[in-house]
Amino acid sequence: MVILIPGATGGFGRVLGEHLAAAGMTVYGTSRSPDAHRADLSFPLLRLDVTEAESPTACVGELLEREGRIDVLINCTNEMMIGAVEEQTVDEVRALYDTNVFGALALYQAVLPAMRERGAGAIITMSSLGGLLAVPYMSAYTSAKFALEALTEALYHELRGSGIDVVIMQPVAMAMDRPATGAHLHTVENTAPDSPSHRMVERMAKDTAASKLTPERVAKEVERVIHMDRKPLRVPLDRAKPLSVIKRLAPQALIDRLVGGLLDDTAPAKGG
């Protein structure tokens, strides 16, 4: 089974690639700068920058030349930024959408011709809790996840009966040993020193440290989904399971209380 994992040099993508390779699958990862990462991985890397117009097609073409097929695309490309609606610029939001939404669209379009020719394949996209709940000070990220899920769900309906499966994985924050901010997460450029956005970063770091969901556990769940004969459209994990039910059925007042709990943590300390 030939697997393509865009974003395989990131925290989760790396764990997923190593796990699936150890399970006997033929795994290819991608990176904007593959030479910088090849020595650290047990699986090969192809060059891919989803924000470059021709890069997804070239990447998939190289994989098809090497293997003659692609069975599963697991889209792990992801950027994250924190900032209030009034703090972020249109250019910053557009850049995030270029990776998280338009990059996914370009990958779907790149792999589908070969999958349609074979009448088989699977497209698995990593979403998050952000695809379920619009989070204050994370409007760019969560709105991009909403858009990604809508795009992917529409594709699911378009491909029904084609032999090509479409799945949205919805993990929550995973416990990973890395800095609170960095390549995977940053505040917007115009964030003021006393902005609640900084406290949202602290809240996210706390959630990550306390999470019971590990990248290894999510990788095992992805492997399970790959082997399923009938794949579900959505696979919520951990706290995303009850939240997916609450979001569908609960009144807005309950949603407001849930989001209010997040805002409590971003409020300045009394007397501060």
How confident is the model at residue 272, as a pLDDT?
A: 44
Do 2 and 71 touch, CB atoms closer than 8 A? yes
- The pLDDT score that the predictor gives to residue 54 is 96
In the chain, which stretches have pLDDT less than 70? 177-184, 239-240, 242, 246-250, 255, 258-259, 261-272
**Angle at CA 76, nearest 5°, toward 255 and 18?**
125
CB 147 within 8 A of CB 98: no
pLDDT tens-digit readout, 100-126: 999 999 999 999 999 999 999 999 999
CA distance 66 to 49: 19
For the chain, the residue count is: 272
List, in order of start, the domains of the chain with CATH numbers: 2-266 (3.40.50.720)
At 118 the pLDDT is 96
